[in-house]
């Protein structure tokens, strides 16, 4: 690898946007402008021996960007050490980061290297950076500023050569204003900030990702070929908001493929909620305790119920409106029960014959199994 690192020239990217792949079990793929801009920024920063912050919602691929920053840097042959700061109790984070001497605290029976020492000559990826305690932030600042760490229980600093890549889904400047994150540490780590767009902002990437994950799952199941998604299923995927981003999309697509019983025809059923079931347990009601006593400002005391607000709905054909609403309810129940008529009847508290009569009335029998 040359000294300038690997990156995508901007002009060439936008004329014919490539699909970017990182070949590993978890893959990020895309061709939208928003996605390519983030990848371009990460690729340019990779060659520089400077810290990088990766910001993004859950499931947007922050760890994959961190890996890209390492692989395209001159540290590519060194270790890439990952630590999830939120996965450890506050009392152990400093010991994990900086190591400890034998007898430094209860349970420390032998010397242990910290993540900084393990990452010497390579990259240390700190995920969920915003969860670090103020004490750990102070020691992290010293380590990044002076290139030295001191194990807990020792007074001898150890020189380390580590590049920091950190990730969070929090707005760090806002945490600085609230006193929850050190301003000087933020200044030190924010040489470059790569903000990953959520999937809902990546125009055109949902079909590309859906096809990729679908093909991979079909191959895993031993299907003879990839039938794709029906137009209706593809539209459902494109219209979903994807709060869990690429991770959620992958689960939804792979679940749809594995649940589909006919590999010869396009997939036509999408299940966004894996917990959806007519038999799922009901949540216990939550008691609401008012923080302050209710003040009665006017009128005599009464036990009469408070009247519900009046909702006005325009309707010029009552029968047609009722039938239309009934059809929507039937279609939704069929989808929830995977078009099983008996399960649908149970879910709607109908007899089997009542359900069949309702389905026949709305020409839905051919869609029900």
104 to each of 113, 143, 154, how far by Cα in Å?
13, 20, 8
Q: What is the Cα–Cα distance from 49 to 211, expressed in whole angstroms? A: 37
Compare 205 and 310 and report the one with higher pLDDT. Answer: 205
Compare 248 and 20 and report the one with higher pLDDT. Answer: 248
As a CATH number, domain 10-197 is: 3.40.50.300
Q: What is the Cα–Cα distance from 66 to 191, expressed in whole angstroms? A: 15
Span 166-175, pLDDT tens digits: 999 999 999 9
Please state the rounded mean pLDDT for residues 193-211: 96
Q: Does domain 200-259 have CATH number 1.10.8.60?
A: yes
Compare 142 and 339 and report the one with higher pLDDT. Answer: 142
pLDDT of residue 35: 94
Region of 228 (left: φ > 0; alpha: ψ -120 to 50; beta: rest) is: left
| Torsion angle defined by CA atoms of residues 37, 39, 41 and 42, in that order, rounded to the nearest 10 degrees | 160
- Convert 72-129 into a string of H (helix), E (strand) and C (coil): CCCCCCCCEEEEEHHHCCHHHHHHHHHCECCCCCCCCCCCECCHHHHCCCCEEEEECH
Mean pLDDT of the chain: 84
* pLDDT above 80: residue 261: yes
Instruction: Work out the pLDDT band at 362, boundaries 50, 70, 90.
Output: confident
* pLDDT above 70: residue 78: yes
360 SS3 class: helix
pLDDT of residue 68: 95
pLDDT of residue 77: 95
pLDDT of residue 307: 54
Domains of the chain, by residue range, sit at 10-197, 200-259, 324-367
Helix 245-259 × helix 231-239 angle, to 10°: 160
156 to each of 101, 102, 163, how far by Cα in Å?
11, 14, 22
DSSP state letter for 267: B
- Convert 295-357 into a string of H (helix), E (strand) and C (coil): CCCCCCCCCCCCCCCCCCCCCCCHHHHHHHHHHHHHHHHHHHCCCCHHHHHHHCCCCHHHHHH
Cβ contact 188:130 at 8 Å: no
Span 206-216, pLDDT tens digits: 999 999 999 99
First to last CA, the chain: 58
Cβ neighbours around 141 below 10 Å, total: 17
pLDDT of residue 305: 52
Instruction: Work out the pLDDT band at 17, boundaries 50, 70, 90.
Output: very low
Span 274-324, pLDDT tens digits: 998 888 887 666 555 555 544 444 444 445 555 555 545 666 777 778 888
Cβ contact 169:58 at 8 Å: yes
Please state the rounded mean pLDDT for residues 27-48: 91
Compare 87 and 204 and report the one with higher pLDDT. Answer: 204
Q: What is the Cα–Cα distance from 232 to 166, expressed in whole angstroms? A: 40
Please state the rounded mean pLDDT for residues 343-353: 82
Residue 220 is encoded by which pair of tokens? 């895993």
* pLDDT above 90: residue 105: no
pTM above 0.75?
no
Q: What is the Cα–Cα distance from 337 to 344, expressed in whole angstroms? A: 6
Highest mean pLDDT of the ranges 89-98, 191-200, 317-326, 347-356: 191-200
State percent of the chain over pLDDT 70: 83
- Convert 24-73 into a string of H (helix), E (strand) and C (coil): CCCCCCCCCHHHHHHHHHHHHHHCCCCCEEEECCCCCCHHHHHHHHHHCC
Cβ contact 231:270 at 8 Å: no
């Amino acid at each position: 690898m040359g000294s300038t690192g690997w990156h995508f020239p901007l002009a060439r990217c936008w004329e014919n946007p490539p699909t970017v792949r990182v070949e590993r079990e978890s893959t990020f793929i895309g061709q939208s402008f928003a996605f390519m801009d983030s990848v371009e920024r990460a690729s340019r920063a990779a060659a520089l021996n400077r810290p990088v912050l990766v910001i993004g919602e859950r499931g947007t691929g922050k760890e994959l960007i961190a890996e890209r920053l390492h692989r395209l840097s001159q540290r590519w042959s060194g270790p890439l050490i990952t630590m999830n700061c939120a996965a450890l109790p506050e009392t152990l984070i400093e010991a994990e980061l900086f190591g400890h001497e034998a007898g430094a605290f209860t349970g420390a029976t032998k010397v242990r290297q910290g993540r900084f020492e393990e990452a010497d000559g390579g990259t240390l990826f700190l995920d969920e950076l915003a969860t670090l305690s103020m004490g750990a932030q102070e020691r992290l600042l010293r380590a990044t500023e002076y290139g030295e760490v001191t194990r807990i229980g020792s007074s001898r600093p150890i020189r380390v050569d580590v590049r920091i890549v950190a990730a969070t889904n929090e707005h760090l400047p806002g945490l600085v204003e609230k006193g929850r994150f050190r301003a000087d540490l933020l200044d030190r780590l924010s040489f470059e900030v790569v903000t990953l767009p959520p999937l809902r902002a990546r125009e055109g990437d949902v079909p590309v990702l859906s096809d990729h994950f679908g093909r991979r799952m079909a191959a895993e199941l031993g299907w003879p070929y990839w039938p794709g998604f029906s137009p209706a299923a593809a539209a459902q995927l494109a219209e979903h908001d994807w709060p869990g981003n690429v991770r959620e999309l992958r689960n939804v697509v792979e679940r749809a493929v594995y649940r589909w019983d006919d590999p010869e025809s396009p997939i036509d059923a999408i299940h966004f909620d894996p917990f959806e079931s007519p038999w799922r347990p009901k949540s216990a009601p939550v008691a609401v305790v008012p923080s302050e006593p209710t003040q009665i400002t006017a009128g005599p005391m009464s036990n009469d119920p408070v009247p519900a607000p009046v909702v006005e709905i325009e309707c010029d054909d009552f029968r047609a409106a009722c039938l239309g609403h009934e059809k929507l309810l039937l279609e939704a129940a069929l989808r929830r029960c995977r078009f099983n008529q008996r399960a649908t009847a149970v879910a709607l508290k109908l007899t089997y014959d009542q359900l069949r009569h309702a389905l026949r009335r709305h020409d839905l029998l051919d869609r029900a199994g």
